Chain A
């Protein structure tokens, strides 16, 4: 236990890095994911195909391999960024596909009658999406989106293997330095992760229940 208390500052640094990585990547991935979802439901075939291809490729690739391409391949092409920026890039590219799927399933969950009614009063594709479908999809889509953010939070731990000193990297380093307190150190960082994931999961569950009642 002493090993944890002595290294509280290190833990805090790791926690802040994990949080920063999560927030920045989640914001960017949500943006890219929503764009992809809009592409996938648009009437333009090329955009639909491009969006579907992106999602299909990324969904079947391990995040670790995406990190490989960011960290080992981009420098070969003279693209040099900090490890943190590479990690943001990899996490964003990977999770955008899952944000896209969450948004798309939200759009699909809105009743057919809504879109039909919007069309029958003469709204165009953009209008019916913006004024009728998306505002309703937004409600149902929030809990799944939070769940993807939770998954993203956990997945930022992979950045530890690629030079970013976040919570998992801190745990590994401290564990290697204090062999008598390995378990306490891992419990310490587990508590930090749970402090992020459990409340978000609870919030998602509550919202899900409210939306379910409202329907």
Chain B
């Protein structure tokens, strides 16, 4: 349902009321922003000297290196999580109980645990068991465990959302279950789940920021190190710059996901919808 269904096209009186509401709402928002700005200005946040720090090439290079480390962790984890998630989805769809049950348990377990706990477990638990692990692999390992469960469910939803006629037709021409999955269902399912997968990549990219906690030198950690070196007054410019970088990268990915989603829905009539909860975690 599009929101416009909730109200009629406004007449003259309605338009006047909407205009008044717009002005009042705008004033309210502007008032909040102005109060915040006054507070910031009183603390000297808008001094040009503080923001000039962002033009330093040292800082720019540092943040660029942090962004590369963030993207590297996200991409490696995404590839691994998709591989494991694919196996999980096939196992959960299998008719063999001994395959489906452990895959289901894996999904429930790793979706129910905080990602940070998984990362810390790998980072602190494996060395205690005599296995050394770098911060990069602790982060990527935790991201993979968690996201394999989420992505496995996206895969499964994509395959289950196909019309049952596809499976029936495949059986009718004599394909076996495995062949049906491989030749008929997965190729079609991938198109339905692609937008949801990209949304999940955004979530995963945001979650690489947890590398901060185990001192993996990603964007947030390098920014924090820079602020500790430069001093507290420079925290706002540096963090705002980091926020802008994250939002620029993630918003373009989200935009791509939405565009793909609209296009796929126009052509195939449906897609796998990512849930707000998966995007939050």
Binding site for B on A (CB under 8 A): 40-47, 50, 56-57, 59-65, 68-69, 72-73, 76-78, 94-95, 98-99, 101-102, 105, 107-112, 115-116, 119, 124-125, 128-129, 133, 144, 147-148, 150-152, 154-158, 160-161, 167-168, 171-172, 175-176, 179-180, 182-183, 186, 189-190, 193-194, 197-198, 201
Contacts and interface: CB of A to CB of B under 8 A. Distances in A.
A115 B2 CA distance: 10
Interface string B268-281: 00000001111111
Interface stretch (B21-29, B175-183, B259-267): B21-29
Contacts, number: 208
Nearest to B20: A44
Contact of B242 (A65, A129, A194): A65
B242 A151 contact: no
Interface string B106-135: 001101111111001100110011000000
Interface of B: 1-3, 5-8, 10, 14, 18, 21-23, 25-26, 29, 39-40, 43, 45, 108-109, 111-117, 120-121, 124-125, 128-129, 202, 206-210, 212-213, 220, 224, 227, 232-233, 235-236, 239, 242-243, 246-247, 250-251, 254, 275-281
Contact of B117 (A150, A151, A189, A201): A189
Nearest to B44: A76
A172 to B, nearest CB: 6
B114 A41 contact: no
B167 to A, nearest CB: 21
Contact of A41 (B6, B8, B128): B6
Given A111-B1, A158-B210, A62 B117 contact: no
Q: Which of A60, A94, A125 neighbours the largest number of chain B CB atoms within 10 Å of its CB?
A: A60
A36 to B, nearest CB: 12
A139 B158 CA distance: 25
B233 to A, nearest CB: 7
A53 B122 CA distance: 37
B29 A72 contact: no
A206 to B, nearest CB: 15
B117 A56 contact: no
B277 A98 contact: yes
27 contacts: A41-B6, A43-B6, A43-B18, A44-B18, A46-B29, A47-B21, A56-B251, A59-B254, A62-B208, A98-B279, A108-B1, A119-B6, A125-B6, A144-B276, A147-B275, A147-B277, A151-B277, A155-B281, A156-B114, A168-B120, A175-B120, A186-B120, A190-B113, A193-B113, A201-B108, A201-B111, A201-B112
B251 A60 contact: yes
B210 A144 contact: no
A183 B129 contact: yes
